[in-house]
Chain A
Amino acid sequence: MNPFQYTEPQVHKYVSPMQRFLSFLKYAILLVLGASYLLPFYWMVSSALKNENQVFVVPPVLLPLPPRWLNFLESWTSLPFNTYLFNTLIKYALPVTIGTMLSSAIVAYGFGRIKWRGRNIFFAICLSTMMVPFQVTMVPLFVIFRQMHWINTFLPLVVPAFFGNPYFIFLLRQFFRSIPEELSDAARIDGASELGILFRIILPLSRPALTVTALFTFMGAWNDYLGPLIYLQKPEQYTLAVGIEFLRTAMTTKTTHSALSYPYLMAVSAVVTLPIVILFFFAQRTFIEGITLTGLKG
């Protein structure tokens, strides 16, 4: 990453006009592309601040002045978004994150740190389940959960997380195996149990892999739309993702409020995106490393 890394050790380097032009072109392309990648987000935030008169204008308003900050409050309270936030965070994302980390770490320990006959076969089966598209199990799982009277509860979304996730089992196993075996042996001589070794020695040394697991699981739940759509049909159970769509339906069918419907939608979208921005800002390296390690979509 050091920008001086590849500089040749010449004192006077001749830069031809052609090279100058190429360097200029490089940055011009980067800046134009970068701006166009950011433009949709700028549009979201600027539109979230528009008033009634700035919505239906051609050419579109890019800098709404004065900004209508009230949109954030009004849109958030136009539907029970506080409830949706509570549902998304406390009933869905947190339990799924805890469950996935705990179970995947235990399973990964069994695959990575204990030598036993049949381990490789089971591990191969575990990895191969990543191949099965979720649509294949979607229908029967719905039937099963329906028979268990779990529809309209968060159980179908949360309980399976406590049975390990193959992606993170794989990730954690790879990480566990890089930890020297001597550490475990020393603890065993001191009379530590395998579970004790996992929690006292292996896990504290596996923070990077655990962070990736936590981050990706949390984001997956926060961003999930299909899961809540299938299993949660009562409005008081909606998550934020379903709530935004619910707001759109409500605002586009209701004729009275249509002037502010887009500002409202953009305001709620911006609020739901904000935690992702914050997470990304503080954990950018974890994101990048995690994706490079697992190839997972965030």
Chain B
Amino acid sequence: MAVTTAKRQKMSRMERRNFWLGLAFISPWLIGFLLWTVFPLVSSIYYSFTRYDLLRPPVFIGLANFVEIFTRDKTFGVVASNTLYYVLIGGPLSVVAAFLLASLLNLKIKGRSVFRAIFFFPAIVPAVVVAMIWSYLLNTQYGLVNGALQAMGMQVIRFLSQPSLAKPSLIMINMWASGTAMVIFLATLQDVPREYYEAATVDGANAWHKFWNITIPMSSPIILYNLVMAFIWGFQDFTLPQLLTGGGPNQATLFYSLYLYLNAFVYLRMGKAAALAWILFAIIVVFTLITFRLSGRWVYYGGGDD
């Protein structure tokens, strides 16, 4: 044991050469990691304990930012519940939408790649354009949707300007743009071995049995992956709510990222923004851990090669 560790400690000339060579090759990332990640992370911790408006130097105020956020800041409660609504309802819904679309495309159909392209395309359109199209489409007076409703003699629906509808409308738009998850699901579904379905057919299973007992278990690791990704993106979503509703109406879509942005760049409260960012980080980590912990009950890992 002592001999082997001694051997391991001392590198041969070749090993030493490779060590410095490897380090040299990864040095762009390593320097960038120190400059753009480690240093900001450390200073972010410091800023979260300060009052800092960019104009004057930061003033150390201890835990005051955190105390304010959790006790006196009434907006934070609204922001937290808005974001949880958006993440907990919107995330799973977009994953379900993506999975159903992928399952539909996985049936024996002609023109699969055309339909896949159509369902996927909204995901790569600039978020600004998505916001422009939908704000016009859902416009109360001149939009296509309300125009059609009016033509059929129905009431106008204020999708984006009625507080109770703003979040569901944003979630619906996100479902429309969930093509990324759909593409991942479709690749997964096409990898499920045909023999499983054939064996089930021989055993007399119907389509529903096969979907529930083969398709879902076999793709459950990817369902988990897409769910975690949807949660992480949901917590960080900025552009769409910022441009479509700007946090309104009546703070109904004031989500975490918007509130953080407001504090940092509009109210110039950099210290509080840093504190909010660390709380967000903690929430995302806890959320991801819980999702993984609960996943043991429904995710099936086939084992074998990966």
A33 with B236, Cβ < 8 A, contacts A43-B144, A164-B28, A280-B124 known? no
Binary interface profile of B, 272-294, with partner A (CB < 8 Å = 1, else 0)? 01101110110011000000000
Give A286 to B25 CA distance when docked, in angstroms: 27
CA distance A267 to B233 in the complex (A): 29
Q: Within 8 Å of chain A (Cβ to Cβ): is B59?
A: no
* Chain B proximity of A154: nearest CB distance (Å): 16
Query: Which chain A residues lie closer than 8 Å to B235 at the CB level?
Result: 133
Q: Which among A26, A136, A269 has the greatest number of chain B C-beta atoms within 10 A? A: A136
- Whether A47 contacts B136 in the complex (CB less than 8 A), given A126-B29, A138-B277, comes out as yes
Question: Are the C-beta atoms of B117 and A223 separated by less than 8 Å?
Answer: no
Encoded as 1 (CB less than 8 Å from any A CB) or 0, chain B from 19 to 57 comes to: 101111110111111011101110110010000001000
Q: Is B127 an interface residue (CB 8 A)?
A: yes
Q: Does A129 touch B at the CB level, under 8 Å?
A: yes
Asked if B136 contacts A262 (CB within 8 A), the reply is yes
Known: A107-B25, A244-B132. A135 touches B124 (CB 8 A): no
CB distance B43 to A1 under 8 Å? no
CB pair B18 A116 closer than 8 Å: yes
Asked if A262 contacts B137 (CB within 8 A), the reply is no
If A116-B18, A135-B277, A139-B47 touch, whether A292 touches B128 (CB-CB below 8 Å) is: no
Q: Quick check: B236 and A114 within 8 Å, CB to CB?
A: no
Asked if B150 lies at the interface with its beta carbon under 8 angstroms from chain A, I say yes
Total residues of chain A contacting the partner, CB 8 A: 90
B110 touches A223 (CB 8 A): no
The answer, yes or no, to whether B129 is at the interface (CB within 8 Å) is yes
Q: Is the CB of B284 within 8 A of A133?
A: yes
Q: Tell me whether A207 is interfacial, beta carbon within 8 Å.
A: no
Interface string of B120-145 (1 = CB under 8 A from A): 11111111110011101100011110
Output the least CB separation between B105 and chain A (Å): 8
Which of A136, A222, A240, A298 touches B41 (beta carbons < 8 Å)?
A136
List the A residue with the shortest CB-CB distance to B134: A40
The dominant DSSP class at the A interface is helix
Within 8 A of A (CB), among B76-129: 101, 104, 107-110, 112-113, 115-129
Tell me if A272 is interfacial: C-beta within 8 Å of chain B: yes
Known: A3-B108, A126-B33, A276-B124. A38 touches B132 (CB 8 A): no
Q: Are A136 and B44 in contact (CB under 8 A)?
A: yes
Q: Which residues of B are found within 8 Å of A160, using beta-carbon distances? A: 32, 36
Contact indicator B142/A244 (Cβ below 8 Å): no
Closest 6 CB pairs of A and B: A163-B32, A110-B25, A116-B22, A60-B147, A59-B151, A140-B40
Chain A residues within 8 Å of B, Cβ to Cβ: 1, 3, 6, 26-27, 29-30, 33-34, 37-41, 43-44, 47, 55-56, 58-60, 62, 103, 106-107, 109-111, 114-119, 122, 125-126, 129, 131-144, 146, 160, 162-164, 166, 169, 194, 219, 222-223, 225-226, 230, 240-241, 244-245, 248, 262, 265-266, 269, 272-273, 276-277, 280, 284, 287-288, 291-292, 295-298
